[in-house]
Amino acid sequence: MDNLDMKILNRLLNNCRESDRQIGIKLGMSGGAVRARILKMQAKKIIKEFFIKVEPPVLGHGILYIVVSGENIEEILEQTSLVGEPYFVVPCVGGITVCGISVKENMEQKIELAKKLMKDVRVLSIFEAENPGFNSNLTKTDLEILEKLIKDPREKIEKISKNIGMSTKTITRCIEKLHENDGIQFTLVYDPTKIENFIPYAILTWIEGNLKETLENLNESFSESYLQIPFIAKNQIVLFMYSDNIYKMDELTQKVRNIKNVKSVDLFIPKKISFYIKWIEKAISDFKKSSKLHLTYQTN
């Protein structure tokens, strides 16, 4: 891996539907050269799959974050199965596992239930994502196209049109709408252990003060080290970054702590990243059976 590979990975993580030619124009190289590097990263299993990340609130679900000491994923998921469906699971360096659980209802009761169920692992933290602010106004057509794109987020519009019998104009408009939704991201899943010469990591910041001002300050200071655009919730900003040196990584983390309005910081170095789509498929299936024409949720 070199810096160009990391920049291509960055573009695809933020929008995996961006064409090889578009990426090449941004990076000053040919589309063919971009394609060759993507194929190389796929062959080396650095890029595991292209993926659509849907934040649970977009489909009317809450998010419960659980941080535990331990890496037995099957055991962790078994103990949380009565609480909700897994959204993501990330085992990290140091024997810590971070889980996101999609919860349909009764969040406070589910938090208490999770605390009781997680008896065989040491729970470090359980908390709900506070009012992430994602809006959703999806039609059944939007969800049908989303359902197809889950299988292949880079699928050509013409092929989708042929498969589901809708015009390319309708599909283009729906995909644009999905792109504009902050809770939906066309991205990819990568294997952190296969990225040689660089260390991907995440910094979870807890914000006390003006979120917009804090994000602007973070972007101004650290955007050159971003692997992905930051994830934002009401009182949290997650920075996805990379470094070629563990000491630089520690230095940047300390600098983040000193940014105005940053109350506290947690550093996570992922060893594996797993996203799950069962909860998405079930949510779409349930809505398609309903008489509603629009799926509308809004959180502020």
Task: Tell me the mean pLDDT per 10 residues along the chain, length 300.
Answer: 96 97 96 97 97 91 87 82 91 93 84 75 75 71 92 94 93 94 94 96 94 94 94 87 95 96 95 94 85 58
Residues 144 and 259 in one domain: no
Query: Residue 135: what pLDDT?
Result: 65
Last residue of a domain, one of 133, 160, 179: 133
Query: Residue 132: what pLDDT?
Result: 55
Q: Which SS3 state, helix, strand or coil, does residue 7 take?
A: helix
Query: Residue 88: what pLDDT?
Result: 94
Q: With respect to residue 273, please indicate whether it lies within any of the assigned structural domains.
A: no
Residues 164 and 25 in one domain: no
Distances (CA, A) of 257 to 174, 211, 218, 263: 40, 15, 10, 7
Structural domain span for residue 10: 3-44
Query: Residue 106: what pLDDT?
Result: 79
Q: With respect to residue 275, please indicate whether it lies within any of the assigned structural domains.
A: no
**Do residues 106 and 163 lie in contact, with contact meaning Cβ atoms separated by under 8 Å?**
no
**Do residues 222 and 252 lie in contact, with contact meaning Cβ atoms separated by under 8 Å?**
yes
Phi-psi region for residue 45, left (φ > 0), alpha (ψ -120 to 50) or beta?
A: left
- The structure's pTM equals 0.89
**Do residues 300 and 131 lie in contact, with contact meaning Cβ atoms separated by under 8 Å?**
yes
Q: With respect to residue 94, please indicate whether it lies within any of the assigned structural domains.
A: yes
Among positive and negative, which fits the CA dihedral 130, 149, 84, 119?
negative
Number of domains composing the chain:
4
Spatial distance between the Cα atoms of 128 and 65, rounded to a whole number of angstroms: 6
Residues 94 and 29 in one domain: no
Residues 175 and 205 in one domain: no
Residues 285 and 152 in one domain: yes
Q: With respect to residue 150, please indicate whether it lies within any of the assigned structural domains.
A: yes
Residues 153 and 292 in one domain: yes
Query: Residue 75: what pLDDT?
Result: 82
Q: With respect to residue 274, please indicate whether it lies within any of the assigned structural domains.
A: no
Spatial distance between the Cα atoms of 35 and 47, rounded to a whole number of angstroms: 13
| Tally of CA atoms within 13 A in the half-sphere of 121 that contains its CB | 27
Query: Residue 300: what pLDDT?
Result: 46
Q: Single out the residue of 48, 109, 56 nearest to residue 278, CA to CA.
A: 56
123 burial class (0-12, 13-18, 19+ CB within 10 angstroms)? middle
> Count H helices, E strands: the chain?
11, 13
Q: Which strand (E) or helix (H) includes residue 263?
A: strand 262-268
Residues 221 and 183 in one domain: no
